[in-house]
Amino acid sequence: MNKSIRSAQGLSRRHGGTEIYFGAIALLVASALASAGTVSVDPCEDSTLWRSHGAPHGKVTIEAVKSDPKQGEQCVRLGYSWRQAWAFFEPRQAWGDHEALVFWLRFEGRKGYGWKLGISAEAEDEVFTISTSINYDFDGWREIRLRRDDFASRVLDSDKGMDWSKIRAFALGVSGGVPGSGAPAVLIDDVRYEAAPPKVVEPPLPDTIPVNDCDATKGWRSDGVDIDASPGHKTEGRAALRIRYEGVTRGTVSTAVKAKRIGPRHALAMSLRGPGVRTSARLHVELDTRGGGRFVKPVSIVNFEMSEQLLFPGEFHRVPAPDGTMPDWRRITGISFALANDAPNDRGNLVVDDIRFVRTAPPKPRAGGDERNWWWDGGFDPFAAMHVIHADWPHLESDERPAMLKFSAFLLSPLVPYAIYLHNDGSYSGFRVTITDWETDVVDILEVDSPRAGVTRRDLVTPARTGSYIFNVECLDGDGAVTRTYQTGITVLAKRLNEPKGIWGMHGYIGSKGSRWPHHPQVLRMLKTTGVMALRERTPFVMRDAAAQENARQGPQARVLRLARQHGIATVVSAHMPSSRHLWGQGRYDFGGIVPGKEQEVFDTMVSLAETYKGLVDWWEIGNEPNEHPLAPYAGILTTCYRAAKQADPAARVVMGGSHVIDRWQYQAWERERETGVPHQDALSTHLYPEPHVLEEHLRGWITAQGQALIEEGMLMTEGGWPTATARAMAMHRQGLLPEGYSGERVSQDWYMRYAPLILGEHMKVDADLYAVCFFRSTPSMGDWVYNLAPGELRVHSKGHFVARWNGREISMGRPMAYTHNTIARLLTHEVTAAEASIEYDTSQGLVEHYAFARPSEVIVPLWIGIENGKRAERLEGSVTMPPRTGLVLACDMDGNERVIEPEGDVVRIEIELGQPRYVRFIESARDGRVHLRLRNLPADMPYHVVTRADAAPHYEALYRRLAGAGASEGHDARRDRINIYVGTPTDEPNIAHLVSRDRDLPVISDLVPARGAPMVLHSASQRAVFLVGQTVKDAALAVDAWLRSRKSR
């Protein structure tokens, strides 16, 4: 048996004997006359080129039959005895440079039941595979033309190109059906290759072909659903099209495509927003063509945020016209949205905007992992963090729970010393520990001999950059073979925070969905240190008697709330209203209101909840995203729960279920309060999810629209964030069209860095309280449930700041967004007030967005590239005038790393890149030559103590003597009754980086800060210490000189 047949069989074996269909069905009715480039490869007068081989392939009966052949005297009949049987066809000629495989096809057997014929092949050099399928939904003979583009391809070796001359053999199998339906027989006749038809010179098409801007209902036809133009939902123009459904629905909304021609590389683009995460509705996008054929694709609408969709031609299923004519993408005449809903108590809105076709580059084959994890190539995964999905949460050596590798500390900062402990139960002769950064680049490799049972310690120092560092442990036997692996990691933050209060929080559900985690204390400590100062949790809205209340107080939710309280983290608890459907009309609290006669039970249920968690809940949130309906029914629930919560726990505050603000439910509730005098809410509770490209316009508009209600009530933002795996990015990724180095995590970080100063700055402009911003969410959905959306889509609720173990949600380490959160939390702190900043740049080149915030002895200016004339510049240069008394300027990136900027006179020059916001810190300090002195709040009468190192080199001993000669005591240990002085470089004196990392007002010490030749003298009131630090010993000596001169001057 030759290699081509073996390759085709190998394709089937790798799929476990089951054909996997990647692409859309790609069938074209042939023209009446074959092209001049047609080459016959099998007239099918006999079956010599066909065979089945082995089990289960031997279950295919292959014969040449006189059964009404389409051409000649006979055709080939493939009789399948079960669904996982295969036949193999090896033509005498390879595919070569031909455009299409053409043949006549007929099925025998009962039509329907979802049967389809799959056709696949593997290149004989094993570089790539191709596959497609043909539905059994027609009668009689049909001529099939499968072009190259009609096959889905999978590249197995990305270093080599796809050579179609290596396609020599095909595997054919049937799939689908239902038990007892019986597999159909397949008849094939007149197989041939066909060259590409002569190219017709047509005028070039524009990059963007508009279809409908959705600014009005004009030009739309609706059947079975209602439509209107909604200005509040727009992504561009004046409005978006809103499609409303209620109950069991079969509706269609359609519009014409006026363009005479659509390019084969033009993808359908639009903005789309679903009815919410609880919807049972389904959506198909259908494209009509001249000739009657249609393109059909299911699109997920299980969401409540507007997102950009990009639907490529090859992703659509092709449905022939009644006469068999197949659709041609170039001849699209109309677009329809077919909405179906089977739930009688479900209703909602679907929103679409800015429908157009956009030119895309030709798809590029990409090497991926297995078909299930199609987006991941097996290395670093910037979408769903698959490279660490099996990582264990970091164990401290003091933890009682066992682990192979433990740490002295896992919440660290750059250049901070720590220790690891390797635990050998006697099964291993040694360990190999490979430490990588987040993007899996190797930082260090440790070879550890451990021939006996026990614990082996290794002392380490963190890298100079922030981020999560991954520890990959290989356990070795006596022969050096790996017998077990283990993965965990550490978190290296710019600052280890311990704020008394703050704005920036997180949606967690740690006490509910994470109730079985064994490490809640570590998780809450991780959140606190990162800067999470508000935590949104959820609990069922159910009645609890005294015994149930006591059980709940001892349960995981109460434990998490108590830990949050101990750490000073504000708590928001969302009452899960669907837990008591019997209380709500039609079982829906969002539009059904309270069932008549159940008002007291609703009141008592809320009382029992508030009593259960009394003293642990700062904010009660009544439901989640209940809007998109008339307010009145829900308002009755809200006021009832408000009275009940206040009765049981007067200190707690109450808000409506967090919602978007487009239909202004929050504002309407505020108006009802003024009209009726009945309290509804203690703040406006919102979910604000602007898309990245319109973040500034939409977020400002949403905030401004709240008017006086916002000024009087303030805002509690309980959800907001941006996913790392968007629908558009995943569509581009499937086609291999994402730019080299694209990272969904970096896009998300950019979103947070812009969002935070904007929402805070806009509240300050109108003097409105911003109580908390709970970014959504603590972790992405890490587990098997990521696959349950439309085919080829990825359900990653990937707004998560932290990694969770696969199918366990046990937080292990931070994703890049956690370091952005740390940056925001340490700079935009609870003390900040609005400030002014003077920025100059070439306005003809673009727009620099900025805000300015002041806190004691510092001004922070976030800068990023905004939209000007409909686009953002790639790069802009500008200058910022320094505030008075500024002595030190630092630029902070999205991960929290800092670098020193030297001013030019009274300005600093900044270069800003698209997607890379910068927070610039203007710190009040003095200068002594090249030395920065920040001695704010230094006590005048406190004695000093020089902390010396026992292993200090002679040049440090000389510096110690100079400081002691100026009146300071000295010793190896710090003293509590004095201000301790530490002197040296960050690597020579690790205590400097360790202690400075706990004072968020000081710079982030690294190999870049202080700058070489520009040492620093830094006082930390919180650490009761002065740090004389430079990048070299010479710089440290300069810092000592400057410190001694400052003492004399005082």
Q: Are 479 and 580 in a shared domain? A: no
How far apart are alpha carbons 891 and 185 in whole angstroms?
70
Q: Are 582 and 717 in a shared domain? A: yes
Identity at 479, one-letter amino acid code: D
Contact 853, 833 (CB under 8 A): yes
Contact 996, 1010 (CB under 8 A): no
Pairing of strands 858-868, 918-924: antiparallel
Question: Does an H or E element contain 900, and which?
Answer: strand 898-900
Question: Does an H or E element contain 748, and which?
Answer: helix 744-765
Say what the pLDDT of residue 35 is.
40
Q: What percent of the chain has pLDDT over 70?
A: 93
Does 613 fall in a domain? yes
Say what the pLDDT of residue 3 is.
34
Q: Are 860 and 777 in a shared domain? A: no
Record the tokens describing residue 128, joined without a space. Answer: 């790539």
Report how far apart, in Å, the C-alpha atoms of 959 and of each of 116, 405, 652 are: 83, 39, 56
Per-residue pLDDT, averaged over 681-709, amounts to: 96
Return the higher-pLDDT residue of 576 and 19.
576
The DSSP result for 284-343, as a single string, is EEEEEETTS-EEEEEE----SS-EEEEE-GGGSEEE--TTSPPP-GGGEEEEEEEEEE--
pLDDT class of 13 with cuts at 50, 70, 90: very low
What is the total count of domains within the chain? 6
How far apart are alpha carbons 959 and 989 in whole angstroms?
13
Per-residue pLDDT, averaged over 464-480, amounts to: 96
Listed residues 435, 464, 492: the one ending a domain: 492
pLDDT class of 809 with cuts at 50, 70, 90: confident
pLDDT class of 6 with cuts at 50, 70, 90: very low
Pairing of strands 931-934, 926-928: antiparallel
Per-residue pLDDT, averaged over 232-247, amounts to: 94
For the domain that residue 472 is a member of, what is the CATH number? Answer: 2.60.40.1930
Return the higher-pLDDT residue of 781 and 763.
763
- In this model, does residue 600 exceed pLDDT 90? yes
pLDDT class of 24 with cuts at 50, 70, 90: very low
For the domain that residue 865 is a member of, what is the CATH number? Answer: 2.60.40
Say what the pLDDT of residue 786 is.
65
- In this model, does residue 787 exceed pLDDT 80? no
How far apart are alpha carbons 1009 and 1013 in whole angstroms?
11
Q: Are 238 and 171 in a shared domain? A: no
Contact 485, 474 (CB under 8 A): yes
Q: Are 471 and 529 in a shared domain? A: no
How far apart are alpha carbons 69 and 333 in whole angstroms?
36
pTM: 0.89
Does 895 fall in a domain? yes
Say what the pLDDT of residue 513 is.
85
Return the higher-pLDDT residue of 291 and 1007.
1007
For the domain that residue 979 is a member of, what is the CATH number? Answer: 3.30.379.10
pLDDT class of 115 with cuts at 50, 70, 90: confident
Query: Nearest-CA neighbor of 176 among 101, 88, 282, 80?
Result: 80
Q: Are 142 and 217 in a shared domain? A: no
Instruction: Please give the mean pLDDT across all residues of the chain.
Output: 91
- In this model, does residue 1002 exceed pLDDT 50? yes
Does 824 fall in a domain? no
Q: Are 163 and 215 in a shared domain? A: no
Q: Are 971 and 993 in a shared domain? A: yes
- In this model, does residue 1 exceed pLDDT 50? no
**Least confident stretch, 319-323, 477-481, 883-887:** 319-323
Does 378 fall in a domain? no
- In this model, does residue 15 exceed pLDDT 50? no
pLDDT class of 792 with cuts at 50, 70, 90: low
| Per-residue model confidence as pLDDT tens digits over 843-869 | 999 999 999 999 999 999 999 999 998
- In this model, does residue 26 exceed pLDDT 60? no
Q: Locate tokens 């726990």: which residue?
A: 649
Say what the pLDDT of residue 797 is.
55
Listed residues 924, 955, 983: the one ending a domain: 924
Listed residues 879, 909, 924: the one ending a domain: 924
The DSSP result for 921-936, as a single string, is EEEE-EEETTEEEE-T
**Least confident stretch, 114-128, 560-574, 666-680, 790-804:** 790-804
Describe the crossing of helices 665-676 and 631-648 by its angle, rounded to 10 degrees. 70
- In this model, does residue 928 exceed pLDDT 90? yes
**Residue 777 dihedral angles phi and psi, to the nearest 5°:** -150, -175
Q: Are 658 and 779 in a shared domain? A: yes
Q: Are 286 and 408 in a shared domain? A: no
Record the tokens describing residue 753, joined without a space. Answer: 């860095």
pLDDT class of 1050 with cuts at 50, 70, 90: low
pLDDT class of 134 with cuts at 50, 70, 90: confident
Per-residue pLDDT, averaged over 348-362, amounts to: 95
The boundaries of the domain holding residue 887 are 833-924
Does 754 fall in a domain? no
**Least confident stretch, 543-557, 778-792, 903-917, 952-966:** 778-792
In total, the chain counts a number of residues equal to: 1050
Per-residue pLDDT, averaged over 334-352, amounts to: 95
Per-residue pLDDT, averaged over 334-355, amounts to: 95
Per-residue pLDDT, averaged over 278-305, amounts to: 90
Contact 769, 763 (CB under 8 A): yes
Q: Are 783 and 860 in a shared domain? A: no
Per-residue pLDDT, averaged over 131-152, amounts to: 86
| Per-residue model confidence as pLDDT tens digits over 45-93 | 999 999 887 655 577 899 999 988 999 999 999 998 766 678 999 998 8
Per-residue pLDDT, averaged over 463-472, amounts to: 98
Per-residue pLDDT, averaged over 996-1022, amounts to: 97
Say what the pLDDT of residue 219 is.
95
How far apart are alpha carbons 220 and 817 in whole angstroms?
41
pLDDT class of 25 with cuts at 50, 70, 90: very low
Q: Are 243 and 94 in a shared domain? A: no
Distance of CA 93 to the CA centre of its chain: 47
Say what the pLDDT of residue 798 is.
64
